[in-house]
Amino acid sequence: MRDLLLTLAAFTLALWGFALLALSQERHVERVFGHHARPAPGLRAQRATGFTAIGLGLPVCLAAEGAGFGSLLWVVLVCAAAMGIALTLTWRPRWLRARPFRCFKLRP
């Protein structure tokens, strides 16, 4: 069970990393948020966080499965996450919008 949770954590990190990388490009930001949206001002930090999140999946996979299979598992998870984000950008780009307080009814 621990290995499954670590693998799921590595996959989540890869998905999050690729989503951050995609949303650091103007073309994808316009597709997700609307026609005149612009990327956030901290693009370098966003890209660095994306690459770091993807890279952090490797030690998690190594801890879950060992050096031999863990590195192979990480490569497969990174490829699956990249494909998932690419398909999300193609068919349902609005799914990449952040809705932080969606469950709360905030009043002005």
Query: Given pLDDT bands bounded at 50, 70 and 90, which one contains residue 37?
Result: low
**Would the pTM of this model clear 0.85, i.e. be above it?**
no
Question: What's the CA gap between 38 and 15, in Å, rounded?
Answer: 22
* Per-residue pLDDT, 39: 64
Query: Given pLDDT bands bounded at 50, 70 and 90, which one contains residue 45?
Result: confident
Residues 91/99, Cβ–Cβ less than 8 Å = no
The DSSP code sequence of 33-71 is: H-TT----S-HHHHHHHHHHHHHHHHHHHHHHHHHHHHH
Question: What's the CA gap between 51 and 45, in Å, rounded?
Answer: 10
Judge whether residue 95 has pLDDT over 70: yes
Judge whether residue 52 has pLDDT over 60: yes
Which percentage of the chain shows pLDDT scores above 70? 87
Residues 51/17, Cβ–Cβ less than 8 Å = yes
